């Protein structure tokens, strides 16, 4: 009976690889068994049969924790596209004929990206493929990368400064840095008087920034250090909408990406392109991951949207109007002084 059991597991290579693949993804046999709707002993037997057949050890077993051996790591990268390809064979087959009538797409992105970058691509995708279940995961930074590496999302969309070796980053669109202040702020008055606002001017006022573990903080720190200046953070707040609101309330100034500015805010906008680099947003992919037809099609749509400039983003140019009116006010004051 034991011999029959070994032969059964030995002759089901796909089941073995699927069990192995899921154990690596989940990090444990118990979680993999839940995903596969199998018992833990069944999953363990699949792994043992694969190890015997290939005459290798796949995992270093340290109590409840499993770590891939070098041989296990090689096998995982060979098996992953095979398992994903078989499991998604029907979806891939129908996709070849331009049909996406089922399946699921999971995208990870931060709040700002979801609010400002993704609406038009999402609208087009949902309109074209209503039967595909689209799930948006509101995550940022490290949490998004964890989900990506654990294959809990198909890809992420966001901004990256440092790209890990196992991650691929494809820039899609860039936006300009902008200082925002309350309408009655001294820096706003300086702009209205026709004077330039310098980074040193900004350093005298408290900043409202996103949490320190996010890339915005690092960029601000780098630029100020490069100009031998210091800055003070009066408030950390998550999300550009929250930051804009607190700036409007007069609690500080902030340095944001102009993608978040619609023109309806009661704020003065001051360009900082002479100090800060443009901010890029793009696709974040795990290298070697099999992309589903749904994921590939969404990526194509997103690249089409931003290549054509039809992002659906409404950017008001009130800053130009403010600057023009400031110049008019300055000329009037000059004429008044000459008259007196």
Which pLDDT value is given to residue 10?
Answer: 45
For residues 265-274, average pLDDT: 94
Give the 3-state secondary structure of 126-177. HHHCCCCEEEEEECCHHHHHHHHHCCCCCEEEECCCCCCCCEEEEEEEEECE
For residues 130-144, average pLDDT: 89
| Higher-pLDDT residue of 93, 134 | 134
For residues 255-261, average pLDDT: 91
Measured CA to CA, the distance from residue 22 to residue 32 in angstroms comes to 5
CATH of the domain at 244: 3.40.190.10
Measured CA to CA, the distance from residue 120 to residue 211 in angstroms comes to 27
Q: Are residues 16 and 45 in the same domain?
A: yes
Q: Is the model's pLDDT at 71 over the cut of 80? A: yes
Q: Are residues 234 and 321 in the same domain?
A: yes
Q: Are residues 167 and 202 in the same domain?
A: no
Binned at pLDDT 50, 70 and 90, residue 293 comes out as confident
Q: Are residues 259 and 298 in the same domain?
A: no
Which pLDDT value is given to residue 340?
Answer: 42
For residues 69-93, average pLDDT: 78
How many folded domains does the chain comprise?
A: 3
Residues of the domain holding 143: 105-174+280-308
Q: How many CB atoms lie within 10 A of CB 237?
A: 19
Measured CA to CA, the distance from residue 336 to residue 319 in angstroms comes to 26
| Higher-pLDDT residue of 102, 193 | 193
Binned at pLDDT 50, 70 and 90, residue 304 comes out as very high
Q: Are residues 201 and 157 in the same domain?
A: no
Q: Pairing mode, if any, of strands 133-138 and 104-109?
A: parallel
Q: How many CB atoms lie within 10 A of CB 83?
A: 18
Q: Is the model's pLDDT at 332 over the cut of 70? A: no
Q: Pairing mode, if any, of strands 177-182 and 254-257?
A: antiparallel
Q: How far is CA 275 from CA 119, 137, 150, 170, 255, in A?
A: 30, 33, 37, 24, 11
Long-range contacts from 83-89, C-beta under 8 angstroms, 24+ separation? 83/14, 83/17, 83/18, 83/21, 84/290, 85/290, 86/14, 87/18, 88/290, 88/292, 88/293
Q: Are residues 185 and 272 in the same domain?
A: yes
Q: What percent of the chain has pLDDT over 70?
A: 82
Which pLDDT value is given to residue 4?
Answer: 47
Which pLDDT value is given to residue 91?
Answer: 62
Q: Are residues 294 and 154 in the same domain?
A: yes
Measured CA to CA, the distance from residue 131 to residue 102 in angstroms comes to 5
Measured CA to CA, the distance from residue 180 to residue 262 in angstroms comes to 12
Q: Is the model's pLDDT at 319 over the cut of 70? A: no
Q: What is the mean pLDDT of the chain?
A: 82
Q: Are residues 110 and 159 in the same domain?
A: yes
Q: Pairing mode, if any, of strands 104-109 and 279-286?
A: unpaired
The answer to whether 92 touches 85, Cβ cutoff 8 Å, is yes
The answer to whether 144 touches 111, Cβ cutoff 8 Å, is no
Binned at pLDDT 50, 70 and 90, residue 211 comes out as confident
Binned at pLDDT 50, 70 and 90, residue 275 comes out as very high
Q: Are residues 273 and 287 in the same domain?
A: no
For residue 141, count CB atoms less than 10 angstroms from its CB and return exposed for 0-12, middle for 13-18, buried for 19 or more. Answer: middle
For residues 88-99, average pLDDT: 60
For 14-68, how does the pLDDT look when each residue is reduced to its tens digit (9 = 90+)?
A: 888 888 888 888 888 888 888 888 888 888 888 888 888 888 898 887 766 788 8
For residues 157-168, average pLDDT: 88
Q: Are residues 153 and 209 in the same domain?
A: no
Long-range contacts from 213-222, C-beta under 8 angstroms, 24+ separation? 213/141, 213/142, 214/140, 214/141, 215/141, 215/159, 215/160, 215/161, 216/255, 218/161, 219/161, 219/276, 219/277, 219/279, 220/255
Binned at pLDDT 50, 70 and 90, residue 263 comes out as confident
For 199-210, how does the pLDDT look when each residue is reduced to its tens digit (9 = 90+)?
A: 999 999 999 998
Q: Is the model's pLDDT at 145 over the cut of 50? A: yes
Residue with tokens 């060979």: 78
Cα distance from N-terminal residue to C-terminal residue, the chain: 111
The torsion region of residue 281 among left (phi > 0), alpha (psi -120 to 50) and beta comes to: beta
Residue with tokens 């198909």: 154
For residues 185-192, average pLDDT: 95
Distance of CA 271 to the CA centre of its chain: 25
Which pLDDT value is given to residue 310?
Answer: 55
* Closest alpha carbon to 13 in 78, 66, 110, 92: 78
Decide which of 87, 115, 149 is a domain's last residue: 87
The reported pTM is 0.66
Which pLDDT value is given to residue 252?
Answer: 95
């Amino acid at each position: 009976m034991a011999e029959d059991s070994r032969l059964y597991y030995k002759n089901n290579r796909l089941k073995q690889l699927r069990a192995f693949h899921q154990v690596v993804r989940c990090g444990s046999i118990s979680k993999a068994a839940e995903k596969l709707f199998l018992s833990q002993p069944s999953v363990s037997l699949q792994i043992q049969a694969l190890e015997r057949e290939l005459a290798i050890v796949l995992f270093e077993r340290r109590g409840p924790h499993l770590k891939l051996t070098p041989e296990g790591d090689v096998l995982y990268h060979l098996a992953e596209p095979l398992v994903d390809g078989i499991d998604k064979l029907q979806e891939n087959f129908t996709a070849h004929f331009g049909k996406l009538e089922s399946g699921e797409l999971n995208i990870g992105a931060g709040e700002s990206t979801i609010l400002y970058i993704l609406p038009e691509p999402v609208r087009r995708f949902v309109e074209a493929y209503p039967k595909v279940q689209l799930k948006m995961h509101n995550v940022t930074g490290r949490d998004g990368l964890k989900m990506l590496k654990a294959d809990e999302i198909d890809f992420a969309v966001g901004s990256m400064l440092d790209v890990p070796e196992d991650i691929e980053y494809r820039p899609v669109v860039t936006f300009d840095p902008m200082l925002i202040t309350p309408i009655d702020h001294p820096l706003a008055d300086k702009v209205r008087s026709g004077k330039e606002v310098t980074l040193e001017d900004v350093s005298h006022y408290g900043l409202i920034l996103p949490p320190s573990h996010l890339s915005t903080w690092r960029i601000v720190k780098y630029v100020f250090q490069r100009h031998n200046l210091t800055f003070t953070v009066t408030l950390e707040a998550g999300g550009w909408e929250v930051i804009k609101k607190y700036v409007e309330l007069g609690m500080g100034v902030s340095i944001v990406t102009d993608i978040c500015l619609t023109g309806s805010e009661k704020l003065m906008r001051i360009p900082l392109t002479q100090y800060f680099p443009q901010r890029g947003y793009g696709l974040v992919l795990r290298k070697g991951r099999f992309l589903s037809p749904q994921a590939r099609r969404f990526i194509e749509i997103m690249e089409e949207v931003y290549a054509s400039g039809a992002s659906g983003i409404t950017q008001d140019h009130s800053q130009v109007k403010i600057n023009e009116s400031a110049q008019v006010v300055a000329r009037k004051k000059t004429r008044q002084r000459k008259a007196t």
